[in-house]
Amino acid sequence: MPRSLSWLIALAALGSTAMVQYNFDTAAADSRIKLFNAVRTSEQVLLPPANVLKLVSLGHPSLAADLVWLQAIQYFGNAGSNATYAALPDYLETVTTLDPKFAYPYQLGTVSLPFMNKADEAIALGEQGIREVPNDGMIAYYLATVYHLNRKDYQRAHEVYLLASEREGAPEAARILAGVVLNAERSSLNDSVVSILFWDNVYKTARSDAEKKIAERWREHMKIVYFLEQAAAKYSTDTGSYPESVETLVTSGYIDAIPKSPNGRLFIADPAKKAILFNKLDPDPYYLP
Amino acid sequence: MSRNILHPIRILASATFRELIRERLLYGVLVVSALLTGSSFFLATISLDQNTRIIQNSGVAAIHYLTLFITVFVATTNLHRDFDRRALYFLFPKPISRAQYILGKFLGYCYLLLTVLLILGGLFAIALAVLAPAVIPVLLVNLLFSFLELSLLISIAVMLASFTAPLNAALYTLALFVIGNAQSSIKEFAARSGNNFLEGITSAVYYILPNLEKFNFRQATLYEVQIPASGIAWALFYWLVFGFLSLFLATRIMDKHEL
């Protein structure tokens, strides 16, 4: 075969592969985008067990932990607005099993999981974190807030706030909050006042503008809850029954208008619980500001 | 007298090193290693505030894995090349024993290992000096223990290459590297199974095959936990005993070779 013909055949073959590649990309673009999005937003965790990852890391379990951590961040950041973050506890558990002294995943878990209705997982992770990383005050601080705000277990929250205040890195608010929750435990403060004090401390110790903004919104929101609770209590004393709705407080002249929540929530009067509640949002502006 | 015993070993080690340092493969792998080590800085940028640990872990791991591949493949092929080129015909009639030959080759490979570790570690340290200077002392400690671990593996590679084909020797050595770094996991799996026979087998594997976890202080250095002196002493003693065993067996196998 002449040499020039060989070159020609090789070039034609190369051109054909490029053409096939181009056609493949254009023909199946839609289905591939769908597949990509399905994988991206999947709640299924495709993660080998931590022991297997440790085995294949060939003496570098911390590196394996780092790689799963990077994957966890991608999962966290890429999840759609309706995501339940079902796989996040598995990711964080795998990272902390591979490297039990890695502090940041404990912090992320105890902060974020309660907002995904996973307070139990946050507590399990946080309890492991305070055992494994004894010099980290932030893990204890965040864990105490879960006991405090989600579980309303003020006794345990008091213990963990105190623990946080004795460790490095915890905000000064830890010691104050230890006292605050102890008061709550003794019923001298109600939940909304405890929450206002909590968010005020978070606001004062925030490390970033974003964190400050979130804390400020929640503090102001809880002040409105407290204001409505006071009005509802007065209404109950006067009429002998809890208001059917917050609008009742306006129509009966106890308040001028229903204040607007900075978090975009609607306030609900619950006569059965004798409490002012507020609706949950999806997506929640707390972690999707 | 001692000078006479050590002199041929030094000559052979130096000649082996000079021969290996000219390998073109070595430079290719060094470039890839430098790129991979450099990629740790990229990984750090997507780590959500965990830059230092990501740089440290991925950089140290890249140096460790790639140095392993370079030295094991180069050592096993080099030893076999001596057999293929009939170099031993010219060597052994001279006043040099099999033991001196094995020790000389081993030391030559160790020089190469040290050089590769210093080049890759040096490049990484230069980048660290700008981006994360606190990691440099940790890197030095890890390089020291990587040297001990990989030089022990080289002694095993020399032993294996003395009786089998170079590719086989390299693969067996890599298999022992995998097992050596998974000893505690293997023992844990066996204990969980509750099977006495399996536990017996894994116990035998645990005590007979090399346990490279003894040289792994990477998590301790990552979290600045003090490494116990006894841990270092036992690691050094293990290195001496296992290294001696491998080189002794290699010498005995060489004695059996018909030249």
pLDDT tens across B9-36, in order? 888 888 888 888 887 777 887 788 778 7
A4 sits in the region (left: phi over 0; alpha: psi -120 to 50; else beta) called alpha
pLDDT recorded at residue B148:
95
Nearest CA in chain A to B187: A55
* B135 touching chain A per CB within 8 A: no
Nearest CA in chain A to B63: A60
Q: Which of A176-185, A201-210, B175-184 has the lowest mean pLDDT?
A: A176-185
Nearest CA in chain A to B182: A55
Q: Where does the pLDDT of residue B89 fall: very low under 50, low under 70, confident under 90, or very high at 90 and above?
A: low
Residues of A in contact with B58 (CB under 8 A): 63, 66
pLDDT at B251 over 80: yes
| Residue contact A61–B219, C-beta within 8 A | yes
The neighbour count for residue B23, using CB atoms within 10 Å, is: 16
Residues of B in contact with A63 (CB under 8 A): 57-58, 61
Q: Which two tokens stand for residue A57?
A: 């890391």
Q: How far separated are the first and last CA of chain B, in Å rounded?
A: 27
Q: CA–CA distance from B249 to each of B6, B82, B149 (Å)?
A: 20, 18, 19
Nearest CA in chain B to A59: B181
Query: What is the reported pTM?
Result: 0.70
* A270: enclosing H helix or E strand: strand A267-270
Across the range A68-92, mean pLDDT stands at 81
pLDDT at B37 over 80: no
Q: Where does the pLDDT of residue A227 fall: very low under 50, low under 70, confident under 90, or very high at 90 and above?
A: very high
- Distance of residue A51 Cα from the nearest chain B Cα, in angstroms: 7
Q: Write the residue in A59, A99, A102 that is nearest to B181 by C-beta.
A: A59
Q: Is residue B8 within 8 Å of residue B98, measured between CB atoms?
A: no
Say how far apart CA B147 and CA B243 lie, in whole Å.
13
Residues of B in contact with A99 (CB under 8 A): 219
Nearest CA in chain A to B44: A70
As a whole-number percent, the residues of chain B with pLDDT over 70 amount to 94
pLDDT recorded at residue A139:
95
Say how far apart CA A133 and CA A169 lie, in whole Å.
12
The identity of residue A196, as a single letter, is I
pLDDT recorded at residue A259:
92
- Distance of residue B106 Cα from the nearest chain A Cα, in angstroms: 24
Say how far apart CA A242 and CA A248 lie, in whole Å.
10
Burial of A158 per CB tally in 10 Å (0-12, 13-18, 19+): buried
Cβ under 8 Å to A: B residues 24-83: 43, 46-50, 53-54, 57-58, 60-61, 64-65
- Distance of residue A269 Cα from the nearest chain B Cα, in angstroms: 41
Q: Is residue A191 within 8 Å of residue A171, measured between CB atoms?
A: no
Q: Where does the pLDDT of residue B93 fall: very low under 50, low under 70, confident under 90, or very high at 90 and above?
A: low
Residues of B in contact with A69 (CB under 8 A): 47, 50
| Residue contact A59–B54, C-beta within 8 A | no
* B252 touching chain A per CB within 8 A: no
pLDDT recorded at residue B1:
47
Say how far apart CA A95 and CA A84 lie, in whole Å.
20
Secondary structure of B162-222 in the HEC alphabet?
Answer: CCCCHHHHHHHHHHHHHHHCCHHHHHHHHHHHCCHHHHHHHHHHHHHCCCHHHHCCHHHHH
pLDDT recorded at residue A123:
96
Q: Is residue B221 within 8 Å of residue B59, measured between CB atoms?
A: no
Top pLDDT among B42 and B1 is at B42
pLDDT recorded at residue A80:
63
pLDDT at A142 over 50: yes
Across the range B99-118, mean pLDDT stands at 92
Q: Write the residue in A51, A66, A108 that is nearest to B57 by C-beta.
A: A66
Say how far apart CA B57 and CA B40 lie, in whole Å.
8
Name the nearest CA neighbour of B155 among B259, B240, B88.
Answer: B240
Say how far apart CA A199 and CA A179 lie, in whole Å.
15
| Residue contact A66–B189, C-beta within 8 A | no
pLDDT recorded at residue A52:
87
Cβ under 8 Å to A: B residues 85-114: none
Name the nearest CA neighbour of B210 among B167, B187, B186, B178.
Answer: B178
- Distance of residue B187 Cα from the nearest chain A Cα, in angstroms: 12
Q: Which residues make Cβ contacts (< 8 Å) with residue B190, sequence separation at least 6?
A: B198, B199, B201, B202, B203
pLDDT recorded at residue B124:
86
Mind listing the pLDDT tens digit for each residue in B196-224?
Answer: 888 888 888 888 899 999 898 888 888 88
Best B47, B56, B57, B149 member to test A by mutation, with max A CBs in 10 Å, is B57
Q: What angle do CA B196, B198, B201 make, to 5 degrees?
A: 110
Mind listing the pLDDT tens digit for each residue in A156-189?
Answer: 988 999 899 888 888 777 877 777 776 666 655 5
Top pLDDT among A252 and A177 is at A252
| Residue contact A62–B222, C-beta within 8 A | yes
Burial of A238 per CB tally in 10 Å (0-12, 13-18, 19+): exposed
Which DSSP string do the residues of B228-240 spell out, in sequence order?
Answer: PHHHHHHHHHHHH
Q: Write the residue in A60, A73, A108 that is nearest to B57 by C-beta.
A: A60
Q: Is residue B72 within 8 Å of residue B157, measured between CB atoms?
A: yes
Q: Write the residue in A51, A62, A73 that is nearest to B57 by C-beta.
A: A62
pLDDT at A287 over 50: no
Nearest CA in chain B to A51: B185
Q: Is the dihedral of CA A201, A203, A207, A210 positive or negative?
A: positive
Burial of A132 per CB tally in 10 Å (0-12, 13-18, 19+): middle
Say how far apart CA A112 and CA A119 lie, in whole Å.
9
Half-sphere exposure of B98 (CA within 13 A, CB side): 16
pLDDT at B44 over 70: yes
Residues of chain A in Cβ contact (below 8 Å) with chain B:
51, 54-55, 58-63, 66, 69-70, 73, 99, 101-102, 104, 108
Q: Is residue A116 within 8 Å of residue A125, measured between CB atoms?
A: no
DSSP 3-state of A267: strand
Across the range A240-249, mean pLDDT stands at 92
pLDDT recorded at residue A274:
86
pLDDT at A72 over 80: yes
